Amino acid sequence: MATLKAIRKRIGSIRNTQQITKAMKMVAAAKLRRAQDAALRARPYAEKMTALLSNLSSRVSPEAHPLLAAREEKRVDLVILTADRGLCGGYNANIIRAGEKFVRGRAPEKETNLILVGRKGVDYFRRRKIEAVERYQQIGSIATEQLAGELAEKAIARFLSQEAAAVYILYSRFRSALSQVPTLEKLVPVAGAAEESEGQPTEYLFEPGIEQLLSSLLPKIVEVGIFRALLEAAASEHGARMTAMDSATTNAAEIMSHLTLQMNRARQAAITKELLEVVSTAEALK
């Protein structure tokens, strides 16, 4: 059994750790509220733009704009969104695992280039000597709109220059603080027409024309898709961190309770030993 002094020292250390995890949980909860509101507000806008695009693209051929043209995916880009920091449970590990699964699922002769966003993803693939086309770290210091614009510009440029036949994005979709789902979506080429589930397709009047509208709308669709993914990833990260820190705080309380019981037993044993020594000494003096 550990000494009484060692147990007290360990209890103090765990108590300090518990204070840190409790503070991190509160900070993550405050950030989660803002990030969740932003992610939920972005969803209707992105969904409406996608519906509008589907309606427009149903009236034109894929040759109407380069971003609609599908090609054989011998070489694709994969944008992986991870966090800059850890202490958020399996958030980063789940995203990286899904990315590796996507790469392994493609035929050996097909090439996959990585665009890594977040220090955790950058460090993981760097340690495994896997090169990335682009790396973005310290993303918390970059405005989300600016980062989305840079990523969209890079993705479109690589597609138009035929460096990539398609661009995918892998991010964690926010469901709740307890549930974040790795989600894979195709950014480029932009999805074509979707079948109308009910009713007749919505009719629009266009000025100056559909082709001109696509030229301005399609790049915006890509940027909005990335922007929404960044918001979803931020909310997922804060939710995962809040849950992880809550579990750590609870576990620390349980460990301290167990150690306190050990400490009381050790103290009782020490007192009993001293009493026995006093009694033995008194008997010996008789």
CA distance 60 to 248: 55
- Put residue 280 in one of left, alpha, beta given phi > 0 → left and psi -120 to 50 → alpha: alpha
88 is catalytic: yes
CA distance 260 to 254: 10
Q: Provide the β-strand partners of residue 76.
A: 112, 166
Taking residue 99's Cβ as centre, other Cβ atoms within 10 Å add up to 25
For 92-96, the CB contacts below 8 A with 24+ separation are: 92/118, 92/120, 92/121, 92/124, 94/172, 94/180, 94/182, 95/121, 95/170, 95/171, 95/172, 95/182, 96/120, 96/121, 96/124
Name the active-site residue from 88, 187, 221, 256. 88
CA distance 177 to 196: 34
CA distance 215 to 286: 107
Q: In angstroms, what CA-CA distances link 178 with 91, 175, 242, 248?
A: 11, 8, 9, 14
Task: Please identify every residue annotated as catalytic.
Answer: 88
